[in-house]
Amino acid sequence: MTLWTATEIAAATGGTAAADFVVDGVAFDSREVGERDLFIGLTGETTDGHRFLDQAFAQGAGGAIVSQPTAHPSVRVADTFAALEDLARAARARVAGKVIGVTGSVGKTSTKEALFAALDRAPGRRAHRSVKSYNNHTGVPLSLARMPADTDFAVLEMGMNHPGELAHLTTLVRPHVALVTAIAPAHTEFLPDESAIADAKGEIFRGLEPGGTAIVPFDSPHRDRLIDAARPYAGRIVTFGINREADVRASDAMVVRGGGTFVNARVGGRDVSFTIAQPGRHWVSNALAVLAVVDAVGADLALAGLALGELGGLPGRGARLTVRVGDGEATVIDESYNANPASMRATLAVLALAAGRHVAVLGEMRELGEGSADFHAGLADDVVAARVETAVLVGEAMRPLAAALEGQVEFVHVPDAGQALERLRILIRPGDTMLVKGSNGVGLSRLVSGLANGMS
């Protein structure tokens, strides 16, 4: 089905169409342009998308949004970024289905993917989601602009580094349901404390549609702060968590063979039993959030349970791969996409349950501001509890953790991912389970690729 026509794009953006064309997708990165995509020539601080128009059309683009003259089929506007937001607003306005906004310090991408899997299973219903982690000032409008008109359920992830960012993004998304997964230390370089993080995440509720539902983590110490943030905008506030007073809660949670968890939950006065394929206590919380949203939009809880039981790990967020090591194999838990203190602790707890010798490759956690040294050193007890026999610490900010681990765990401290990979080629043994976790900028995804390409 056609996503946009040139006429519709011009009407949405106030631009002028130079030719008739139709498109099936939207992209602003020329490397991602596919057949019949709309290419948006964004102008940034370091580059200008107009330079890549020929490349985009060589790859099959069906049309473009531009602010400069071009011979290619296009809609010309005064400002291409403003046009992207205008197209996002038009996409949101034409969808009659339920829209869900997801944010949080940890778990938002994984929960977004689980929600999509749960809602996409409904027979005859169409679900849409943000791809990858497109959750910022360009990613959110792009995800909206890609949303088909006949979408029944849309799951949009929203992130932030500074106060005020979510307040704007949520006015584009206009969710019927707004979920905060958790509050934890993250971006504290830009936000003074967890209360400020909670306030910034709570901005998501400001965009709720009239009568919309706010979903809040009951077990968070910032629960009441989030509830106060939601109260002026939400028609209904639902809590989820382990605590028996939560509206959506787990009455029992038992680890099963293979590392998943069997859960008995109470949702909207109903009992639901299901298995979560992904290991870790944090996934119990994610799953309860998923059920809270599914119930709020009137979708099928049983199908959601099936989806959670089949959900695989995402690259960089829990995917497991087997790598060759000499004459044997080792297991890699790929958590390389990002890290903060809460997610580090959660994934180290997952490693603690794994078979074999435990190796942890831990990259520095960035954007933690003045508290960075304490946050890094504070992971020592979790590393020990995870029964890590050898740790590879990556980045200068890991120095405090190295000091805290002295005499407790064998470790090496290296400056970058490349040197970490070289050390691993010596350290890794058949039968090992290795956790790889760090902030995205550390580049540990390249280390995982190196492991996948062969250790022998």
Distance (Å, whole) CA 72 – CA 64:
8
The CATH number that domain 319-452 falls under is 3.90.190.20
- Encoding tokens for residue 446? 């390249």
Sign for the pseudo-dihedral over CA of 256, 123, 143, 160:
negative
Residue 142 DSSP SS3: helix
- Encoding tokens for residue 257? 């063979």
Q: First CA to last CA across the chain, in angstroms?
A: 48
Contact assessment for residue 217 and residue 193, using Cβ atoms and an 8 Å cutoff = no
Distance (Å, whole) CA 399 – CA 378:
12
Contact assessment for residue 145 and residue 382, using Cβ atoms and an 8 Å cutoff = no
Q: Identify the band that residue 186 occupies on the pLDDT scale cut at 50, 70 and 90.
A: low
The arithmetic mean of pLDDT across residues 161-186, rounded, is 93
- HSE at residue 137, side-chain half, CA atoms within 13 A, is 11
Contact assessment for residue 86 and residue 8, using Cβ atoms and an 8 Å cutoff = no
Residue 280 DSSP SS3: coil
Binding site listing: 104-110
Question: pLDDT value at position 370?
Answer: 85
Strands 236-241 and 248-255: parallel
Q: Which residues contact 343 (CB under 8 A, 6 or more apart)?
A: 106, 107, 184, 282, 335, 437
Distance (Å, whole) CA 201 – CA 178:
10
Question: pLDDT value at position 189?
Answer: 64
Contact assessment for residue 102 and residue 115, using Cβ atoms and an 8 Å cutoff = yes
The arithmetic mean of pLDDT across residues 120-126, rounded, is 91
Matching CATH topology for 4-82 and 319-452?
no
Taking alpha carbons only, the member of 42, 13, 12 closest to residue 27 is: 42
Q: CA–CA distance from 218 to each of 53, 201, 242 (Å)?
A: 49, 15, 8
Question: pLDDT value at position 456?
Answer: 44
Q: Read off the DSSP letter of residue 445.
A: H
Q: pLDDT tens digits for 262-301?
A: 999 999 889 999 999 888 888 999 999 999 999 999 999 9
DSSP string, 374-423: HHHHTTHHHHHHTTEEEEEEESGGGHHHHHHHTTTSEEEEESSHHHHHHH
Q: 267: which strand partners?
A: 270
**Mean of the per-residue pLDDT values of the chain:** 93
Binding site listing for ATP: 104-110
Distance (Å, whole) CA 151 – CA 355:
43
Cβ count near 43 (within 10 Å): 14
> pTM to 2 decimals?
0.82
Q: pLDDT tens digits for 401-443?
A: 999 999 999 999 999 999 999 999 889 999 999 999 999 899 9
Q: pLDDT tens digits for 334-351?
A: 999 888 898 899 899 989
Q: Domain 4-82: state its class.
A: alpha beta
Question: pLDDT value at position 215?
Answer: 98
Task: Match domain 95-310 to its CATH number in 3.40.1190.10, 2.40.110.10, 1.10.600.10, 3.40.47.10.
Answer: 3.40.1190.10
Q: Over 70: is that where the pLDDT of 155 sits?
A: yes
Q: Over 80: is that where the pLDDT of 45 sits?
A: no
Q: Domain limits of the chain? A: 4-82, 95-310, 319-452
